[in-house]
Amino acid sequence: MPKAYVYREYGGPEVEEFADLPKPTAGPGQVVIRVRAAGVNPADWKRRTGWRGPGVNPDHFPAVFGNEVAGVIAEIGPGVTGLKPGEAVFGSPLKGGYAEYAVLPASGLARKPDVVSFEDAATLPVAAATAYDGLRQLGLPRGGTLLITGVGGGVGTAAAQIARHAGVRVVGTADPAKREFVESLGAAYVEPGPGVAERVRAVAPEGVDGIYDLVGGDALREVAPVLSDHSKLISAGDQTTARDLGGKPVARARTKEVLGAVADLVADGVLDPHVTATYPLDQADRALREVENGHARGKIVITA
């Protein structure tokens, strides 16, 4: 039977295991893909602990990790038109992606451009699309300044590049070990922690025009004073704190049009997903630990 990496209940890493699961079938409006690559995100390990983001349903165990994949269509469900087996696509699976096969809604996937690798495409449905959606939500003008907290991860890496392409100056906080990487994105690096607001003002004396938060909690509270208009504060890391400060959570569009737009950015050389490490499916535990421990720069991808 096909392999998958699952969690059998909510808890820590001890509830994770490799499993043999029946090959899924495509229901109405769905397709099954043979997974070639799956992106690894902080939300993956957070869901294992019992955390659920907006609109996320409770898990049925064993639950397969992962929420972004790229692969080749293996089966078409009833009512699906315009797609056929053998086509390379990417999107968010319905029941996990750290697996050899995954089920996706036909309405929420996009074709993979030939010039985009499966590994890069697998980083787009969550990380790059979240970055894209958030920047559209902020709507900062060319010449504006954007502060991204936690810029060194997958969403931040994409947001920095897309923002700079739109003519927005980027200031970013990240662990000191990621400073060189952050600066390679064209962002002005600021070390997080006590006094961070003063350090941001040192590189952006007039303050910032928007904050894209990917960390939340005290880290968000500490930088909030550099923004005069808190309606221009959005968070993909902590919607509660964002709302407390007068901001909003990132509003996800989750459409094939957004997926197509970010894929075009990759194909055109505007966006580099910065896949910094790949792991085969039988090392999915190692990939997840790298993200959970906060050591990852850019994106970690599992290949199947």
82-99 pLDDT per residue, tens: 999 999 999 999 989 999
Q: How far is the C-alpha of 250 from the C-alpha of 132, rounded, in Å?
A: 10
pTM above 0.85, yes or no: yes
pLDDT of residue 219: 93
At position 155, the amino acid (one-letter code) is V
- Mean pLDDT within 196-212: 96
CA atoms within 13 A on the CB side of 88: 15
Check pLDDT > 90 for residue 174.
Answer: yes
pLDDT of residue 55: 57
Q: Report the percentage of the chain scoring pLDDT > 70.
A: 98
Check pLDDT > 60 for residue 51.
Answer: yes
Check pLDDT > 90 for residue 298.
Answer: no
User: 238 φ, ψ to 5°?
Assistant: -165, 85
Q: How far is the C-alpha of 46 from the C-alpha of 41, rounded, in Å?
A: 9
Q: For residue 37, what is the enclosing H or E element?
A: strand 30-40
- Mean pLDDT within 259-263: 95
pLDDT of residue 58: 66
Cα dist from 67 to 50, 148, 291, whole Å: 15, 23, 14
- Mean pLDDT within 215-241: 94
> CA 118, 120, 124 angle in degrees (round to 5)?
110
303 contacts: CB under 8 Å, gap ≥ 6: 36, 37, 118, 119, 278, 279, 280, 281
- Mean pLDDT within 204-218: 95
pLDDT of residue 118: 98
> CA 75, 31, 84 angle in degrees (round to 5)?
60
Residue-by-residue DSSP string for 268-282:
TTS----EEEEEEGG
Check pLDDT > 90 for residue 237.
Answer: no
**Residue 72 near residue 33, CB atoms below 8 Å:** yes
Confidence tier at 297 by pLDDT (50, 70, 90): confident
Residue whose structure tokens are 């990417």 = 90
pLDDT in tens, 28-42: 999 999 999 999 998
- CA 116, distance to chain mean position in Å, is 17
Q: How far is the C-alpha of 202 from the C-alpha of 82, rounded, in Å?
A: 53
CA atoms within 13 A on the CB side of 157: 26
- Mean pLDDT within 272-277: 92
**Residue 35 near residue 1, CB atoms below 8 Å:** no
Cα dist from 1 to 7, 281, 284, whole Å: 18, 14, 18
Confidence tier at 212 by pLDDT (50, 70, 90): very high
pLDDT of residue 57: 65
Q: How far is the C-alpha of 266 from the C-alpha of 23, rounded, in Å?
A: 31
Confidence tier at 288 by pLDDT (50, 70, 90): very high
Domains of the chain: 3-123+273-303 (3.90.180.10), 127-249 (3.40.50.720)
- Mean pLDDT within 145-173: 96
Check pLDDT > 80 for residue 296.
Answer: no
- Mean pLDDT within 153-182: 95
**Strand, coil or helix: what is 287?**
helix
- Mean pLDDT within 213-222: 94
Q: Helix, strand, coil: what percent of the chain each, to 5?
A: 35, 25, 40
pLDDT of residue 284: 98
Confidence tier at 59 by pLDDT (50, 70, 90): confident
- Mean pLDDT within 155-166: 96
Q: What is the DSSP letter of 127?
A: I
- Mean pLDDT within 275-300: 91
